[in-house]
Amino acid sequence: MNIDKQKTYPKRLLNKGSGFLSGYSHTLNPYTGCAFACSYCYVRQMPVQLFRNQDWGEWVDVKQNAGQLLEKELKSAKKKGSVTIFMSSSTDPYQPIEYKERVTRQLLEAMVHEQPDFLFVQTRSSLVTRDIDLFQQLKDKVRISITIETDSDEIRKAFSPSAPPIAGRLKALATLRQAGIPTQAAIAPLLPSSPAFAELLHTYVDRVCVDDFFMGDGSGGKRTERLNIERIFKELNLEKWYEKDAYQKLISRLYTYFEPEQIRVSKDGFLP
């Protein structure tokens, strides 16, 4: 797919944490738009997409002068109190365009120079391992959360065909862990998985977060309903996985391999 790339020149990059991410002082998005184009992405129902002529996944805005701008904002924000950052709330910081544009790396370089109190990085791309050198400089001030919503790549393809394969994400978790970077697997949103999923995750991480469409889409599941995601579950004859208590099934499996304090649910798993 050809992505329509546009340059933008924002006046600010840090936005106040609110709603689901109110535990953070700020959110940070290197890009606007996301080429992974996951079918369930709640940003599809937000104004940034609703007022766009192109479909979600067909366009990406690249923020210019990001590193310089962020460093200035960090200096100012740190004078006012604790600075905790969630990157990213409405895009993937390691989507394919990052290979060339390197906006995320510019932001990380700025954060190494002007360190926040905490940085949480949420992605589903193995490209995140490229920046291990910068994460190591942030030490215990960073956590990398990689989305592993299922252990089935066929299921992944049904919901997010343009997103990276599951195997590559698991390998990235192993690489980060070996490098001493704090990590977690984010089963978010919860998709159908096999009974072996919990054991598989235990091989790669010592912390997991489970979230679903009802707890995590910011509207109690209403945004997901408007996207008609239930249709995909029905086509796969797996509609039971769309029910509100489906996450409990996975959590019971996780308890076999993880201690209770290693299992987080919804918002708790994304807090600083």
Q: Is the pLDDT of residue 46 over 90?
A: no
Q: What is the pLDDT of residue 257?
A: 97
Give the mean model confidence (pLDDT) for residues 182-208: 97
Backbone angles phi, psi at 87, to 5 degrees: -130, 105
Residues 81/117, Cβ–Cβ less than 8 Å: no
* pLDDT at res. 176: 98
When pLDDT is averaged across residues 5-10 and rounded to a whole number, the result is: 94
Residue 73 has pLDDT above 70, yes or no: yes
Give residue 198's pLDDT: 97
Domain boundaries, the chain: 4-270
Percent of the chain, pLDDT > 90? 84
Mean of all residue pLDDT scores within the chain: 94
pLDDT band at 216 (very low <50, low <70, confident <90, very high): confident
Unique residue bearing structure tokens 């766009």: 52
Percentage above 70 pLDDT, the chain:
99
Name the pLDDT band for 89 (thresholds 50, 70, 90). very high
Token pair, residue 157, equals: 């393809």
pLDDT of residue 93: 98
Residue 1 scores a pLDDT above 70 = no
d(CA 86, CA 106): 16
pLDDT digits (tens, 9 = 90+) for 55-64: 888 899 999 9
- Residue partners of 47: CB distance under 8 A and separation at least 6: none
pLDDT one-digit tens code per residue, 105-138:
999 999 999 999 999 999 999 999 999 999 999 9
Could you write out the DSSP letters of every residue in the chain?
A: ---EEEEE--S--EEE--GGGTTSSEEE-SEES-TT--TT-GGGGSHHHHT-SSPTTSEEEEETTHHHHHHHHHHHHHTTS--EEEE-SSS-TTSTTHHHH-HHHHHHHHHHHS--SEEEEEES-GGGGGGHHHHHHHGGGEEEEEE---S-HHHHHHH-TTSPPHHHHHHHHHHHHHTT--EEEEE-S-----TTHHHHHHHH-S-EEE--HHHHSSSTTHHHHHHTTHHHHHHTT-GGGGSTTHHHHHHHHHTTTS-GGGEEEGGGGG--
Q: Name the band, by pLDDT with cuts 50, 70 and 90, for residue 145.
A: very high
Mean pLDDT of 67-82: 97
> In whole angstroms, what is the distance from residue 56 CA to residue 35 CA?
8
What local confidence, expressed as pLDDT, does residue 223 receive? Answer: 75
Mean per-residue pLDDT, 174-184? 98
CATH architecture of 4-270: Alpha-Beta Horseshoe (3.80)
